[in-house]
Structure 1
Amino acid sequence: MDPQRLKDNFAQVGGHGMDVAEYFYADLFERNPHYRSLFPASMRRQQEVLLGALSQIVSLVDDPERLVPYLEDLGRAHAGFGINPEHYPEVGTSLVATLKYFTGDDWTAELEKDWAEAYGVVSDVMIKAAGQK
């Protein structure tokens, strides 16, 4: 996994602002309509939180001493919202689909591998922390 490639790509994708979060949730709910009930009626605040969390994670991707505690807190918080380990793969699928969409022609197999690996680490840490409540 190349942390700088992730940071550069997220800077490119993040330039699309709230459209990224809107696309992500639209994709997630299209693939998994039953997930919609896990979220508030108005998604605006949730979209802002998602973008903030992604920004924080990407900014810390090469600093595990700060990233892991952040992810552990996220994992415990998500467990409190009813998020279970089986939700994580679907979220990862929608996240990669969103990144690919907003990256456009610059998307590569290496970038997809980097994001999949990074998401695997993120979800593993969050799931483990949620189980240690």
Structure 2
Amino acid sequence: MSTNLIEQSLELAAERCEDLTPLVYARLFADHPEMEALFWSDKNWAVRGEMLAQVFSAILDFVGDRLYASTLIQTEVINHAGYDVPPNIFAIFFATVAATLKQVIGADWTPQMDQAWTRLLADLDYYVTHPNQAETQGVGA
């Protein structure tokens, strides 16, 4: 996985957009309007902002040392089931983040970044679809 390309794309997006939260969630809700109802109590967008910050942190850990990201993803898949969030939404959300970054970065988004994100999304999806940590222990280490 091209750690530097993922980090570079996040840095470029951060330079160009102070807060990606509205863009990510606008895209998510446009593509999956049923998800907006799950945020009915998040009037000040604090939950959305915190969730996106955790996603960025998890991505950086996942492409880096992998100290906690895979476990966090698995745990959150299980936790969110209590909010009636189907597991596939996690894969959709990660892809939404990538698509938003691509939009914000524009012409500076390279084919290599695209390939790195495609690989990352596939790797993340493994943990989304395998939330049982006993089954995935040692994978990707």
TM-score band w.r.t. shorter chain:
0.7 to 0.9
Tell me how many residue pairs correspond in the alignment.
131
Residue 89 of structure 1: how far off its partner (Å): 4.3
| Equivalent-residue separation in structure 1 for 2:125 and 2:96 (angstroms) | 14
Q: 2:123 aligns with which of 105, 121, 124?
A: 121
Matching of residues 37-116 of structure 1 within 5 Å: 37-41=37-41, 42=43, 44-60=45-61, 61-116=63-118
Point out the structure with max Rg over C-alpha. Answer: 2
- Distance change (3 Å), C-alpha of 1:123 and 1:79: farther
Deviation readout 1:51-73 (Å, 9 max, x if unpaired): 32123123312212432222222
More helix by share: 1
Match of residue 4 from structure 2: 4
Give the counterpart letter for 1:12 in structure 2: L
- Across the aligned residues of Structure 1 and Structure 2, the Cα RMSD in angstroms comes to 2.4
Deviates more, 1:38-47 or 1:1-10: 38-47
- Distance change (3 Å), C-alpha of 1:102 and 1:130: farther
- Distance change (3 Å), C-alpha of 1:94 and 1:101: same
Structure 1: gaps (5+ residues) = none
Give the counterpart letter for 1:121 in structure 2: D
Match of residue 26 from structure 2: 26
Give the counterpart letter for 2:9 in structure 1: N
Question: Identity across aligned pairs (percent)?
Answer: 18
Structure 2: gaps (5+ residues) = 135-141
